[in-house]
Structure 1
Amino acid sequence: MSDSTERFRALADGGFVDSNLPLLAVVLGSGLAGLADSIESPTVIRYESIPGLAASTAAGHRGEFLLGQIAGIRVVTMAGRLHAYEGHSIEALTRPMAVMAAMNPVAVIVSCAAGGLNPRYRVGDLVVIDEHISLLHGQMGAVGADRELPEYQALERKRAGALRCGRPTCDETFTKIAERTAREAGFRLCRGTYLSVTGPNYETRAECRMMKNWGADLVGMSTVPEVVLASRAGLRTLAVGVVTNMAIPDSPATTTHEDVLTVSQAAGMNLEKVVRAIARSLVHETESM
């Protein structure tokens, strides 16, 4: 067991670690930490208290793990994340996900704030990310970050095939649950392709035209490395983007990070409905076994 995993387990509540309840891992992006406030009696672990993890410096990112329960299951949540534009390598920014994956969750939900390139989207929409394109430099799946974890040693032997294959990283069952939840609750949820870029600057109009021509529906600065790592670990994964602004070419509108936080905080309530619905489905699956 790695030093980071040992430290994480030491800081977590013993009852949490040893519980037989299913474990759901969740990543909360910019302004989406409202879900963290719904966790029952959470244990808080700062990123920088774990060997090999750095503090988060981006606005709207707490930079901490929260461990507790939601909807009758255990949940470990990344309240905020690290980004390449903060000076981190792919290995460093995916290490929090590697630590969570070492806890053997049954599923992972990754969320993010994103700019909408698809003109059919509206600000505040949730989008299931069923495909992605990455312009982030480095080895997707964080081979370096997961190499020291016993749970991933078998994955290292499959590295070449894992990086070449185009297997889906989106769990279709979870997608259907999210779509049903949106219909019942009356909010919009779409599907789309997410493009990850380094940031921190927002895209220019010329870049928006290029990205649309590539087939991207959303653009953001994260998510793909975490999703790929979770997929390589064999975890059922769902990624959801919140459309916080429309990145439409030739539009006179401009976007600030404050705008992104405002929209994502409002949309966070709908994201919480999706997370709770998936949590309930995992409880039902466990009881049916």
Structure 2
Amino acid sequence: METAASSSTFQRATETALHVRAALPDVLQNPKVAIVCGSGLGGLAQTIEPEPKVELAYETIPNFPRSTVQGHEGKFVFGLLGPQKTPVALLVGRAHFYEGHSMDLVTFATRVCKVLGVETMIVTNAAGGLNQDYAVGDIVCLNDHLNMAGLVGIHPLRGPNLEDFGVRFPPLSDAYDLDLRRRTHRAWKKLGLDKQKRRLHEGIYAFVAGPTYETRAECRMLRGFGADVVGMSTVPEIVVARHSGIRILAFSLVTNCAVLEAGSRGDDEALQAMTKAELDEHLSKGKANHQEVLEAGREAAKDMQALVKEIISDL
């Protein structure tokens, strides 16, 4: 039975898709693959052919959320990618829950992709490394997630089910497509990326609401739960994509190593003679910052671009 909520969301997504299609040449009308470009990874848009290419700023698209985060340009880019000239849609920048958007708006672009005919989504993000075997600049192919916000009620499918898109209780045990992950490892070796310092892992992503970076205790908790990386995006998009029947491949770029050690106690004898400046420096070791995220993204962009392009050429 169709609900008013389902009808409204589907109508808005259809309205947006029609607006987008009106700006596209015939060859780009039905993109089969969508790529979500996370912090510092907007350069993925340069992987597509120069012609035909259409860029639409988010603010010109009806119903679309605006991204306010540094490193997120905020544009929908359409073009052809790879030797097979696969029509693709790139979301350069995304809306985050911590910006004040509702979960419905955070995942609206994913709904639009479904209406446009997207069958596969490649979702990328910048994340903090919880697994101590990971180094800054490593790439993690996700094979599972912990939806920490969703477990306490901040869930993108909360409310009446959107029958136009999917079933009430979608399974997520197969959320991360095994065939696409297999193709990823093959592409990594084919490109010779396994012979360099940067490594490709498979791991579990913990989604937290943000916008603060995690405390030391929170990092230890998440690692204890089995998470390898932690971030503030991606999982809502994946949940909605799977609800809509879209195949998913997801990557995290490790942009900083989370601090897992407990902080020093105020009664530690070794600290008593330190000045305030020395205490601040002692406490700040390993502290994450957004500039680090962007810089690591720039350094790893070429490998990520080559990997994504190779995977799509093999689809």
TM-score, normalised via structure 2 length: 0.80
Cα shift readout 1:4-26 (whole Å, capped 9, x = no counterpart): 222121222333116xxx62110
Is the CA contact 1:182–1:188 (under 8 Å) kept in the aligned structure 2? no
Identity fraction in percent: 36
Q: Could you tell me which residue of structure 2 aligns to residue 135 of structure 1?
A: 148
- 8 Å Cα contact 1:91-1:142 kept in structure 2: no
- Corresponding position of 2:124: 111
Alignment partner for residue 35 of structure 2, among 4, 9, 26?
A: 26
Match of 1:12 among 24, 45, 55: 24
Quick check: 1:94–1:142 contact (8 Å CA) kept in 2? no
Secondary structure of the 2:29 match is: helix
The separation in 1 between residues aligned to 2:15 and 2:29, in whole angstroms, is 16
Given that 1:91 and 1:143 are in contact with CA atoms closer than 8 Å, whether structure 2 keeps it comes out as no
**1:76-87 superposed matches below 5 A:** 76-87=89-100
Deviation per residue, 1:133-172 (Å, 9 max, x gap):
112353335877x94xxxx6151xx21x21xx34211111
Distance (whole Å) between structure 2 residues aligned to residue 47 and residue 214 of structure 1: 37
State which of 250, 257, 261 in structure 1 corresponds to 2:294.
261
Q: Residues 39-188 of structure 1: matches in 2 within 5 Å?
A: 39-41=48-50, 42-71=53-82, 72-136=85-149, 137-141=153-157, 147=162, 153=164, 155=166, 158-159=167-168, 161-162=169-170, 165-183=171-189, 184-186=192-194, 187-188=198-199
Root mean square deviation, CA, Å = 1.9
Structure 2: where are the runs of 5+ without partners?
Answer: 1-10, 263-284
The answer as to 2:43 corresponding to 1:37 is no
- Does the CA-based 8 Å contact 2:216-2:261 persist in structure 1? yes
C-alpha distance in 1 between matches for 2:122 and 2:158: 18
2:227 is aligned with 1:216:
yes
1:80-104 superposed Cα distances (whole Å, 9 cap, x missing partner): 1010111011100111111112111
CA deviation after TM superposition for structure 1 residue 44, in Å: 0.7
Larger Cα Rg: Structure 1 or Structure 2?
2
User: Which SS does the other structure have where 1:192 is aligned?
Assistant: strand
Letter in 1 for 2:288: T
Number of aligned residue pairs? 269
Report if the CA contact (8 A) 1:142-1:225 is conserved.
no
SS in 2 for 1:248: coil
Distance in 1 (CA, whole Å) between partners of 2:29 and 2:232 is 32
Contact 2:127 2:254 in 1 (8 A): yes
8 A contact 1:133–1:194 mirrored in 2: yes
Provide the secondary structure at the position in 2 that maps to 1:30.
Answer: coil
- Measured in 2, the distance between the counterparts of 1:13 and 1:74 equals 11
One-letter amino acid of the counterpart of residue 255, structure 1: A
DSSP 3-state at the match of 1:61: coil
Deviation for aligned residue 1:38:
2.5
2:68–2:99 CA contact under 8 A, matched in 1: yes
Query: Per-residue CA shift, 1:72-130, capped at 9, x if unaligned?
Result: 21110000101011101110011111111211123110000000000111111110111
Q: Check whether the contact 2:259–2:287 (CA below 8 A) recurs between aligned residues.
A: no
Measured in 1, the distance between the counterparts of 2:78 and 2:96 equals 22
> What's the TM-score once normalised by structure 1's chain length?
0.87
